[in-house]
Amino acid sequence: RDFLRYAYDNWVDPPPSYVLLVGDGNYDFKNHLGRDEPNYVPPYLIYADEWVGETAADNRYACVAGDDILADMQIGRLPAQTAAQASAMVAKIISYEQSPPAGDWTQKVLFVADDPDEAGDFRALSDDLADNHLLAEPLYSAEKVYYGVSPYNLASDVKYAITSAFETG
């Protein structure tokens, strides 16, 4: 993060706008668990909530200007554990950019939620996002798969609907 801050503040304009982290990371930075897992670029961990606990938040690396928590650069990660994995990931990205799959799948959005509980009402949040923001743009179509709402009354129905949506684009 210090390097990114330095680059952002001191490199010739324009400052870097995108950061690509290459290397997997895990929560056991000092190998206390003795698993010897590679930890090339440790993720920042943030406390999400009592259900999720801590989760990785690489965007913190890109918060380099000011004291806010808004990233000043775009950030992504290739979670490779070996050079061969990194090469394969880069090759797939280049192939995808050069020959993207045809079809209208880029205009489809799938909303998935379960029944409201103490963690939140994700149906309501999904409906708000779909109905008041996303679908305001005629470019997109949405499918909603909400567990417990007909025809998705069984977990197997939800699983089938999600799998089908991915398979058909």
Domain ranges of the chain: 2-98, 104-168
| Closest by Cα among 87, 89, 82, 78 to 21 | 78
- pLDDT (0 to 100) of residue 46: 87
Side-chain-facing half-sphere of 48: CA atoms under 13 Å? 10
- Element holding 86 (H helix, E strand): helix 83-98
| Mean pLDDT computed over 147-153 | 88
- Report pTM: 0.70
- pLDDT (0 to 100) of residue 169: 81
Q: Are the CB atoms for 25 and 40 separated by under 8 Å?
A: yes
Q: Please state, as a whole number, how many other Cβ atoms lie within 10 Å of the Cβ of residue 9.
A: 10
- pLDDT (0 to 100) of residue 42: 87
- Asked if pLDDT for residue 152 goes beyond 80, the answer is yes
Strand partners, 54: 47
Q: Which two tokens stand for residue 107?
A: 């205009």
- How many Å apart are CA 91 and CA 94, to the nearest integer? 5
| Mean pLDDT computed over 79-108 | 92
- pLDDT (0 to 100) of residue 18: 96
DSSP letter at 91 equals: H
Would you identify the CATH topology of the domain 2-98? Answer: Rossmann fold (3.40.50)
